[in-house]
Amino acid sequence: MTGTGSIGRRLTFLLAGVAALLSVLSWWMVTGLARQAAERTQDNVLAASVTTIAETLRSEQGEVRLELPYSAFSMLGAISQDRVFYRVTDGTRVLTGYADLPVPTELEAVVGQVVFDTGEYSGEEVRMATVTRLVLAGTQPVPVTVTVAQTRGGVASISAELSQLAALLSVAFFLVAVTLSGFAARASLRPLNEIAAAVSRRGPSDLRPLRRAAPTELAPLMSSLNRLMDRLGQSIRSAEDFIAEAAHRIRTPLATVRAQAEIALRSAKDEDQKQRLRQMIRAVDESSRSAGQLLDHATVIYRADDLARSPINLSDLVRQTAAALEPTASMKDIHLKIDAVPAHVEGDPVLLDNALRNILDNAIKYSPPETDVRISVTEQDKEIRITVTDQGSGLGDGPVDVLTHRFQRGTNTQGIVGSGLGLTIVKDVLTAHGGRLELEQRKGAAGTCATLVLPSS
Ligand SMILES: Nc1ncnc2c1ncn2[C@@H]1O[C@H](COP(=O)(O)OP(=O)(O)O)[C@@H](O)[C@H]1O
Ligand SMILES: [Mg+2]
């Protein structure tokens, strides 16, 4: 399954992107506001300074006179170490100060009002405040213009400092926001993960509908999941029913056919006819055996999914199963020799009996008459090993692991009835119990060694 990335990561990135945008925006705004505030402060002080000077203007014997009050400059020095320039003109003449200070343009019209301007003086940017006052010199009023200018280093450094602080705060805000985004993404995905966990915790055959409370966004997912499980459950049930029904319907008439054929065989005189009847009985045996195996396989699939776990002593189980197969073995004069220690597992006795029966059946089936089949039960390292060793034909020359595939029979099966489902059943049962099947040719002797490995309880 190829993923299309993680929703959590996408959500985190999205939120982090928004946070970054907000951080930059707030930094930019704070920087702008800080600069504005610093400039306004400077303007206010400049205005106060220029007004203070302008207020000292008076006329004396038709001449404009002024005092430069100390306070007018000290207040400028209070806010920064910037250089201060000033000039006073009466329209045509420079009365005092720096003559080359650039004059704010179009001033004359606004009398009594402080006008601000920014210009350049002695190689530095300066902020200037200018006010014009009419001073009565002799008979007519003369407009006198006072300008105070100050370099802007202080403003720049204050706003740089604040901007740095704002940048720091923005970065901190961004980091906090990213962390919170991660949490938020995880928190909003939690219900989804909980549903996934609840589904995967279930056994594969647990197809009950999900009944957990979920956010509204997940309701469609939940209901389609439930519908899917419902359909799946139905089709599994009908498949199981079908197999059980089919196996039953095949076996019953076959048993009748077999009984009739045996009766016919007993009364048959002609050797040719007897031969045909024997073949017929064999074919019937094979079919009913296959039907039985199919039914067993269906049972295993169904029960393995929803495994019953009851405590079982495997050595008892081995003895029981061997006893059940004793008649089959004795028909070939095969001895079943059991060497078992008590070994306890948790599991489904029906399935384990079925697996054991298939392994023993093979051992007996693929062994020549008058041989031994040894069954041992041992326990080591929390593992129980049931080893069935025969003196038969071995596993043939094909690959061994395919023998556990469905309907797969070996190359050594000439004339021996079978359906190729036995080892499939064994493997499925062991897998359901957390165990495994080990199949090997016996070393140094003819025969097969099949081991059922199960975790001990
Ligand atoms: N004890 C054994 N000795 C020899 N061959 C075996 C033995 N057990 C299994 N096999 C081989 O594995 C194949 C698959 O076994 P199984 O699934 O039980 O099918 P079958 O119906 O043929 O017994 C058999 O056809 C046989 O070739
Ligand atoms: Mg078999």
Say yes or no: 150 and 229 in one domain: no
410 lines ligand 1 (CB under 6 A): yes
395 lines ligand 1 (CB under 6 A): yes
Say yes or no: 255 and 314 in one domain: no
Which two structure tokens, joined as six digits, stand for 132?
């014009």
Under 8 Å between Cβ of 341 and 377: yes
Cα 184 to Cα 3, 10, 162, 391: the distances in Å are: 22, 12, 32, 67
Supply the range of the domain harboring residue 147. 7-159
Say yes or no: 321 and 447 in one domain: yes
Identify the pLDDT of residue 165.
92
Say yes or no: 354 and 292 in one domain: no
Q: Which atom of ligand 1 is nearest to the CA of 367?
A: 3
CA atoms of 351 and 413, how far apart (whole Å): 25
Of the listed ligands, the closest to the CA of 387 is 1
For ligand 1, mutation pick of 409, 411, 440, 442 (most atoms within 8 Å of CB): 409
Say yes or no: 320 and 428 in one domain: yes
**DSSP states of 298-322:** HHHHHHHHT---EEEEHHHHHHHHH
Under 8 Å between Cβ of 94 and 160: no
| pTM of the full structure | 0.57
Say yes or no: 51 and 90 in one domain: yes
CATH code, domain carrying 335: 3.30.565.10
Say yes or no: 57 and 153 in one domain: yes
Below-50 pLDDT ranges, the chain: none
Identify the pLDDT of residue 109.
55
Q: Closest by alpha carbon to 211, among 200, 199, 201? A: 199
The kind and range of the H/E element at 385 are strand 383-389
CA atoms of 326 and 130, how far apart (whole Å): 123
Distance of CA 125 from the midpoint of ligand 1 (Å) = 100
Say yes or no: 349 and 446 in one domain: yes
Coil/strand/helix, residue 384: strand
Say yes or no: 339 and 434 in one domain: yes
Which two structure tokens, joined as six digits, stand for 342?
């008590």
Identify the pLDDT of residue 106.
58
Identify the pLDDT of residue 104.
67
**401 DSSP assignment:** G
CA atoms of 67 and 72, how far apart (whole Å): 10
At 295, the amino acid letter reads L
CA atoms of 102 and 117, how far apart (whole Å): 10
CATH code, domain carrying 40: 3.30.450
Instruction: Give the phi and the psi of residue 116 in degrees, each rounded to 5.
Output: -105, 150
Is residue 434 one of the residues assigned to a domain?
yes
